[in-house]
Chains A and B, each alone.
Chain A
Amino acid sequence: MDLYKMTAHQLSEMLKNKEVSSTEITKSVVDRIASVDDKVKSYITVTADKALETAKAVDEKIAKGEEIAPLEGIPAGIKDNICTEGINTTCASKMLENFVPPYDAFVTKKLKAINTPVLGKLNMDEFAMGSSTENSYFFKTANPYNLNKVPGGSSGGSAASVGADTAVYSLGSDTGGSIRQPASFCGVVGLKPTYGLVSRFGLIAFASSLDQIGPLTKDVTDSAMVLNAIAGHDNFDSTSVKMDTPDYTKALVNNVKGLKIGIPEDYVGDGINPEVKDAILKAAETYKALGAEIEFFKLAASKHALPAYYIISSAEASSNLARYDGIKYGYRTENYTDLMSLYKQTRSEGFGKEVKRRIMLGTYALSSGYYDAYYKKAQQVRTIIRNDFDNAFAKYDVILTPTAPTTAFTMGEKTTDPLQMYLEDICTVSINIAGLPAMSIPCGFDKGGMPIGMQLIGRAFGEETLFKAAYTFEQNTEYHKQRPNL
């Protein structure tokens, strides 16, 4: 079997047993990028030479008889809003087209600590705002299962690269579904960890109270391994939680007997594509057959999560993106007369349409006279949503929903009406609002052959339960073994 097709845990095992070298693995994936990435276009920047250098160092370490860490020497891609020292980090924006971070993000440092050959930086919606990766300033990324369809977003490059085998795994970021929805569209596993489990230091901020970094992988085992590698406390992120993180691979147990799974009725209701709905109900049957208890329930505030999310995230974005003023770093216009016109013209030329729309919306929601009606109201609804989840988790161990209301849609289909695009996030945003962990795993294909993902939601810091539930489903189904023909 071609090395690039294999999972991180398979390759890690082979590397440890000296059946293969890190250079061979990295070379195989680099060649794969060269042969298919002009079609899929996952990468904004490819750093093949650097990756091969790192792989060589790992091989030398192995040759000396030194122990290697799990995932050491396994090549990965990184979303282009996660800082990489000396390598352009663009956020898929004209504003940061030439930005070269002088430091590594916490997660980048973590990956470098285990000698990860970094393959390059992955395409995304500009500043992580979007659900299709069509908002990238540079180019659109295609879905590996159908090149005319979107890979989802905003971590579209991260999902498409894993789907297309041009990365063994990747890192993405998730503010309202940006890891899970593209994972679902590209037939891969995507995990948004609990808020605070993974440091956001060096993640270019979109909405700080919602953003979280997480892995996109070929299977659930890889997901647990990558979480092991990136979780942990960081002094540079004051929201990073001080706790001893467990070995998540220990939670990979094929057993859901007695596990209580709740399905919110609204999430398998009218707004959901029938094929997606059927796949979710079928997954529920699978769980039932494996000994889990399934119950439908009402998650009362779910309807209000989407408007609350768009108010809160846009408000935080308008504040976070105020720093792009053409002075310290990033784009600067050539057309200005004074400082104010420099600010305005720089921002008008440097940001794309969707980013400007959200800055405007957020500024409006925070402006005098509207603050109470929109921003404060949304923050209060946030409390209600959290309470709803607390109540649900008093009864259930895991909540099961679709990841997205549809499968991957055709490019251009939803770009004219922003609200239509926002509805893509309807199943995922409430999880960020409540700060909970959730993962998307493959659970079927529609008639057109496009992947369907299901979302498992857990209690805060309940990643182990998620892994157990996801692993059990995976071990008893074949969906994750399908690969696209490219």
Chain B
Amino acid sequence: MKISKQDVLYVANLARLNVTDEEADKLANEMGSIIDFADMLSEVDTTGIEPTNHAMKMENVFREDVITGSYDRELILKNAPSQESGCYSVPKVVE
């Protein structure tokens, strides 16, 4: 198998996901078979080929630095799972 359980646990932490022991085994299998499939890409000779990030040619888009309307704080906070005094509320970060 291409992907070990350790790999899965390592990647899960990077992706900020909790994975149980049982899930890790299953994911190792599933990701392994998808990665095996993706290894088909190694057949392609890509020497000297530039990578494409976007299908269309992309250029920086600039605009004048002018103030435009923004959203009402109350409206935006309506979607927050937890709020206090007009701010998002999170668990204590600094001791």
Contact B76 A383 (CB under 8 A): no
A435 touching B56 in the complex, CB below 8 Å, given contacts A378-B41, A419-B34: yes
The residue in chain A whose Cβ has the minimal distance to the Cβ of B55 is A435
Complex Cα gap A461–B14 (Å): 39
Write out the residue numbers on chain B whose beta carbons fall within 8 Å of the beta carbon of A436: 55
**A337, A381, A435: which contacts B54 (Cβ < 8 A)?**
A435
Write out the residue numbers on chain A whose beta carbons fall within 8 Å of the beta carbon of B42: 373, 377
**B16, B46, B53, B55: which contacts A434 (Cβ < 8 A)?**
B55
Complex Cα gap A344–B79 (Å): 20
Is A348 in the interface zone, CB < 8 Å from B?
yes
Write out the residue numbers on chain A whose beta carbons fall within 8 Å of the beta carbon of B56: 194-196, 239, 241, 435, 460
Is A39 in the interface zone, CB < 8 Å from B?
no
Write out the residue numbers on chain B whose beta carbons fall within 8 Å of the beta carbon of A257: none
Range, interface on chain A: 35 or more
Contact B18 A209 (CB under 8 A): no
Contact A374 B41 (CB under 8 A): yes
Contact B81 A357 (CB under 8 A): no
**A196, A301, A328, A356: which contacts B17 (Cβ < 8 A)?**
A356
Q: Per-residue CB proximity of B68-82 to A under 8 Å, as 1/0?
A: 000100011011111
Contact A383 B50 (CB under 8 A): yes
Write out the residue numbers on chain A whose beta carbons fall within 8 Å of the beta carbon of B46: 377, 380-381, 384
Write out the residue numbers on chain A whose beta carbons fall within 8 Å of the beta carbon of B30: 357, 418
Which residues B63-93 have CB closer than 8 A to chain A? Answer: 63, 71, 75-76, 78-82, 88, 90-93
Write out the residue numbers on chain A whose beta carbons fall within 8 Å of the beta carbon of B82: 332
Write out the residue numbers on chain B whose beta carbons fall within 8 Å of the beta carbon of A386: 52, 55
Complex Cα gap A361–B90 (Å): 29
Hey, which bits of chain A sit against chain B, CB under 8 A?
A: 98-100, 102-103, 194-196, 209, 235, 238-239, 241, 301, 303-304, 306-308, 310-311, 318, 322, 325-332, 336-340, 342-345, 347-348, 351, 356-357, 359-361, 363-365, 367, 373-374, 376-384, 386, 418-419, 422, 432-436, 460
Hey, which bits of chain B sit against chain A, CB under 8 A?
A: 3, 7-8, 10-12, 14-19, 27, 30-31, 33-35, 37-44, 46, 49-56, 58, 61, 63, 71, 75-76, 78-82, 88, 90-93
Listed from nearest, the 10 A-B pairs whose CB atoms lie closest are A435-B55, A379-B51, A332-B81, A329-B79, A380-B46, A382-B52, A238-B61, A348-B18, A307-B38, A363-B15
